[in-house]
Amino acid sequence: MRLAVLAAGMFVFAGGAVDSASAQIGPSGQIEEFDYTLSNSPPKSFAGVIYNSGVAESSGGTLDFQSGAVQEANFLDNAWTLIPAGTQTLNVKITDWRIVTAATITVTAHVPPGASMTVIPGDTGTPMGLPNGKFSIPTGLGRSGAKPPKGGTQVVKCRGNARSCLAKISLARGARNRKIVIQLTDTDLSLRSIKAPPRRKHAAYSLTNGRFVQGGSRYVVTLSAARSSRPGSQLTLRFA
C-alpha cells in the first residue's frame, strides 16, 4: 500500500485562482529525493530522521508498505517521523523530498531496537546504512561526478487566443532550477490557475520567482521537480 503525505507549507501550486502575477517564492535551495528503507521495525516503536543542518524545507513524501501500518506519519520542515500501528512488524519505504542547501547534510536517525534503516540520496544513488544517532549524508550538490542538473531554459508556447491561453510544462524525470519561458498570446494577461496531475502521477515540485517580462508578452518562472516524476506528468498554467 502506498500513502502520500504532503508537508505543511510546501511551495507547490495545485490549482485554483492565483491572485498575483508572481508565483510564490520558496526558500533558497534545490529539491532532492531521499529514499529510506525501514526494515523489521517492531510494533509500538518510534522511527524517524531529524535534519540538523543543510535542509531548508520539506516538500512532502510517500510511504510504500511491504508489511505493517502506521498510526501517525509526519513530514515536517526538519524531520520525518513514523509511529507504527497494530501488532505486525513494519517494513516500509519512505520517499522524502527536501529542499537542501549543502553538499552534505547532518541528521539524527531514530532506529528502533532490532530494526535497520538505509537511505539512498537521489543525486548520488549510493545506499547508506544508518546507525541510531547522528551522521552525515552526502547530497551530491556541487560535487564532481554528481548527476548533472536538469536545468537550462525551456520555451513553452501558450495555446489560445488574445483573451486566454494554456501553457503545459512537463515534470517527467525531474528538473532542477530550470528556467521556463512561456510565450503568451497577449500582453495584458494574468496568471489565473496552475493545475497539477493527481498525486499518484507526479512527485514533489516547486515553481518560484514567477514574473512577467518583455512588456507582459512572456512569463518566466523557475521549475524544480523530483526525479521520480512520471513520464507524461505535467502542469497546466492558465492565463486570462
Note whether residue 2 is domain-resident: no
Name the domain boundary from 138, 169, 195. Answer: 138
Name the domain boundary from 111, 138, 165. Answer: 138
Q: How many domains does the chain fold into?
A: 2
Note whether residue 215 is domain-resident: yes
Note whether residue 183 is domain-resident: yes
Note whether residue 1 is domain-resident: no
Note whether residue 4 is domain-resident: no
Cell triple for 154:
525551456
Pair 42, 125 in one domain: yes
Pair 107, 194 in one domain: no
Contacts of 148 (CB under 8 A, 6+ apart): none
pTM summary value = 0.63
Pair 39, 131 in one domain: yes
Q: What is the pLDDT along the chain (240 residues), one digit of tens a residue?
A: 444 443 332 333 322 333 333 333 344 466 778 889 999 999 889 999 999 998 877 767 778 889 998 888 888 889 999 988 888 999 999 988 787 888 899 999 999 999 999 999 877 788 999 999 999 998 876 654 445 445 677 888 899 999 999 998 888 777 878 888 899 999 999 999 888 776 555 567 788 888 999 899 999 998 888 776 776 778 899 999
Pair 49, 133 in one domain: yes
Pair 109, 199 in one domain: no
Host domain of residue 123: 30-138
CA distance 228 to 100: 17
Pair 156, 134 in one domain: no
Pair 71, 114 in one domain: yes
